Amino acid sequence: MTYDVHIIGGGLAGSEAAWQLARRGFRVRLSEMRGTGERSPAHQTDGLAEMVCSNSFRSDDSDKNAVGLLHHEMRRCDSVIMAAAAKAQVPAGSALAVDRDVFSAEVEARLAALPGLDIVRERIDTLPEAGLTIVATGPLTGAALAGSIGKATGADSLAFFDAIAPIVYRETIDMDVCWMASRWDKGETRDYINCPMNKEQYLAFHAGLISGEKTSFKEWEENTPYFDGCMPIEVMAERGVDTLRFGPMKPVGLDNPHWATAEHPNGRWAHAVVQLRQDNKLGTLWNMVGFQTKLKHAEQVKLFRTIPGLENAEFARLGGLHRNTFLNAPILLDRNLRLKTAPHVRFAGQITGCEGYVESAAVGLMAGLMTSAELAGRTWQAPPRTTALGALLSHITGDAEAESYQPMNVNFGLFPPLHDVAKKQRKEAYTARAKDDIAPWLESLVPA
């Protein structure tokens, strides 16, 4: 058979992309390396759309939760991942959890039943030079293909480890305590939010970093040589009590205007500062600079809320460090997920820098829809930015800050803000707006 599209990777994203294309009558080759005797270090089976760790797609509440909203929108697009999850669902309160084997078998059965879809068990080692292609090989992309992608994109634009610093919602930072300044008051624009610490606060924080419970690296992560460039903050703390004060928490030159006196009208330097940098164009999300960490999530929330100004911080993302192959998508991909330098190649799933099963499948879904539009000779309309699909796509394809780009879950900080709605009602307002806005967009899709 000759194919309209070659999809590489039969995980969450590749399976969803294949479904969206083949059910619209396009001929698809889906290449999956598992089943040839090869597997990534995390995968345990040869089944399509294997969930490698948790069996949960997280909250299914589409009225108050961003990932629940994404479920809702994917269902409106007839997602195979959502349909198989419904079939495999197990009780888990308001979360959507599944029996992973039933889930994977259901995805595979639905794909196998589509006449124009060939599932081929083969490993692909180089980016195809021609023909519409979707690369959905995930966070553990095979080494040879990763090398080929690195060659096409520039080695600096393809990461092999994430180094995730926590991200805070801007509106939860107390600016009566914090202040804006340039990085180390070097006369640039005042782009950083600074949280000041006195000596006592710093020492307690330092002790918390050392004693806090950490997650450990998996054996195959420890042996990956890319780790040196992204040292966790607690490892830096272990090197000496003042190491952080000479690194990411350096206070030098940063006059705190809240500490101004007659003698020091510009304010005084703190003993240490935590700096936050804007993370998205909307200005709703700010990342804690240099704070990549293996502390357990609950420990992070507890400890980071001891930082002056962050007492009521809410986190769009907590810190982490994992083996993770991903592109600097905001600069490499166009708004249609195509590689700017080779537009016949689209990327989908976690390799684009989204994070999570649902987000990966959602980006696969959009890659499938975009390719369908291209094959049908239609102009693709992006989902409105007010929807979860649109917010995620906008973030990946240009709205995120490329310099600090790290994998991201869907969250309301990616949505155009609704400042005029009371804070307590905002989540419902975001989801209601999205549900209104998704409906007309669905009309623009190539019919199945």
Ligand X SMILES: Cc1cc2nc3c(=O)[nH]c(=O)nc-3n(C[C@H](O)[C@H](O)[C@H](O)COP(=O)(O)OP(=O)(O)OC[C@H]3O[C@@H](n4cnc5c(N)ncnc54)[C@H](O)[C@@H]3O)c2cc1C
> How far is Cα 279 from Cα 286, in angstroms, rounded to an integer?
5
Local structure of residue 186 (DSSP, 8 states): S
Query: Which listed residue (68, 138, 320, 330) binds ligand X by CB under 6 A?
Result: 138
Token digits of residue 237: 């703390």
Q: Is 12 in the site for ligand X (CB under 6 A)?
A: yes
Q: Is 8 in the site for ligand X (CB under 6 A)?
A: yes
Nearest-CB residue for ligand X = 11
Least distance (Å) between residue 330 CB and ligand X: 18
311 touches 174 (CB < 8 A): yes
Burial class of residue 102 (count of CB atoms within 10 Å of its CB; 0-12, 13-18, 19+): middle
Kindly determine how many residues on this chain lie close enough to bind ligand X according to the rule CB under 6 A.
Answer: 33
Q: Is 13 in the site for ligand X (CB under 6 A)?
A: yes
> How far is Cα 199 from Cα 270, in angstroms, rounded to an integer?
8
Q: Is 396 in the site for ligand X (CB under 6 A)?
A: no
List all residues 6 or more positions away from 418 whose beta carbon is below 8 Å from its beta carbon: 426, 429, 430, 433
User: Which residues from 325-384 bind ligand X, rule CB under 6 A?
Assistant: 349-351, 356-357, 360
Query: Which listed residue (7, 114, 140, 197) binds ligand X by CB under 6 A?
Result: 140
Q: What per-residue string of b and e applies to 187-208 under the rule 16 or more CB within 10 Å gives b?
A: eeeeebbbbbbeeebbeebbeb
User: Which residues from 25-84 bind ligand X, rule CB under 6 A?
Assistant: 31-34, 40, 42-43, 52-54
Least distance (Å) between residue 286 CB and ligand X: 24
Q: Is 142 in the site for ligand X (CB under 6 A)?
A: yes
Least distance (Å) between residue 359 CB and ligand X: 7
Q: Is 145 in the site for ligand X (CB under 6 A)?
A: yes
Q: Is 320 in the site for ligand X (CB under 6 A)?
A: no
Place of tokens 């905001």: 330
Q: Which is nearer to ligand X, 145 or 237 (CB)?
A: 145
List all residues 6 or more positions away from 151 whose beta carbon is below 8 Å from its beta carbon: none
List contacts with ligand X (CB under 6 A). Answer: 8-14, 31-34, 40, 42-43, 52-54, 123-124, 136-142, 145, 349-351, 356-357, 360
